[in-house]
A and B are shown apart, each in its own frame.
Chain A
Amino acid sequence: MEQGDIQRASSFDCGVPVLNHWLQSIAWSSHLGGGARVHVAVDAAQDLIAAYLCLSAAQADHAVVPSRVAKGMGQSPIPVVLIGRFAVDSRFRAGGIGKFMIRYAFEETLKIADTLGVRAIMVDAKDPGAAGFYTHCGFTAAVGNPLRLFIMIKDVRISVSAAGIIP
């Protein structure tokens, strides 16, 4: 996002007020703080932000840490990339840009994984419809929590190779 995107963000409308607000009011400060990185796809012809997503470093861990530690059978928390916010402007939904933003997230994460120990990408879908979208992009829903989904980096990498592309 460039300075001009501040103005572009004001017209962003994905149909979910909290996601509009996040882009318009929080995104830049979140990015500035370094805790998350915000990526935008801009339609230059219409001068509009078509979609955005937010990536951050996170750790997946067993919720019941005390018992795990007590039993001495612990596995360290697993470093992952978290898709924190993701939205597509309603005007661009028909173009299928959402799945390509996920592909972009895969590409960016593969780059990171070349130098850091990232093992998976995780996302918390906002509703079952969104979870279905992520499933169509190759994510797997967590047992007992269909709105929490993940995909292994090694699986993304081998899938990219299978597509005939060198990751």
Chain B
Amino acid sequence: MPRPKEIEQMPRPKELENDTRFDLAVSASSENVIVALDDDAWKQFVEALEGPARVIPEVAELFRTKAPWD
């Protein structure tokens, strides 16, 4: 299996040329996304942000393992 790839820009299908629903979808997806965290979660997030980097065993193991496209 080849490595995943980014979607390529594709022309709008002819049958959807006048379909404004897709314009709305594009507009919505372009909005700034805010992930709001409440007090406790924000504190946890900032502590993780400001603390020292730590090795996460699950991530290290993930990178030691061959993917189908490796």
Contact = CB atoms under 8 A, between A and B. Distances in A.
Classify chain B: how many residues form its interface, as a range.
Answer: 35 or more
Interface residues of A, number: 79
B25 A33 contact: yes
A100 B68 contact: yes
Contacts of B33: 56-59, 82, 84
Contacts of A42: 1-2, 4-5
Nearest to A142: B41
A126 interface: no
A5 B4 CA distance: 12
Contacts, number: 202
Given A6-B13, A44-B1, A142-B41, 12 more contacts: A1-B6, A32-B9, A43-B1, A97-B67, A106-B62, A138-B62, A140-B44, A143-B40, A159-B56, A160-B59, A162-B55, A163-B60
Interface string B1-32: 11111111110110000000010011111111
A33 B27 contact: yes
Which residue among B2, B12, B45, B55 has the maximum number of chain A CB atoms within 10 Å of its CB?
B45
Contact of B26 (A33, A145, A148): A33
Q: Main secondary structure on chain B at its contact with chain A? A: mixed
A60 B63 contact: no
Contacts of A34: 30
Which residue among B8, B56, B65 has the maximum number of chain A CB atoms within 10 Å of its CB?
B56
Interface in B32-70: 32-46, 48-49, 53-65, 67-69
Nearest to A153: B53
B57 to A, nearest CB: 8
Given A37-B6, A102-B62, A142-B45, A152 B38 contact: no
B45 A150 contact: yes
List the 10 shortest-distance A-B pairs measured between CB atoms, nearest first: A33-B26, A35-B29, A1-B7, A159-B59, A58-B33, A142-B41, A35-B30, A163-B63, A100-B67, A63-B36
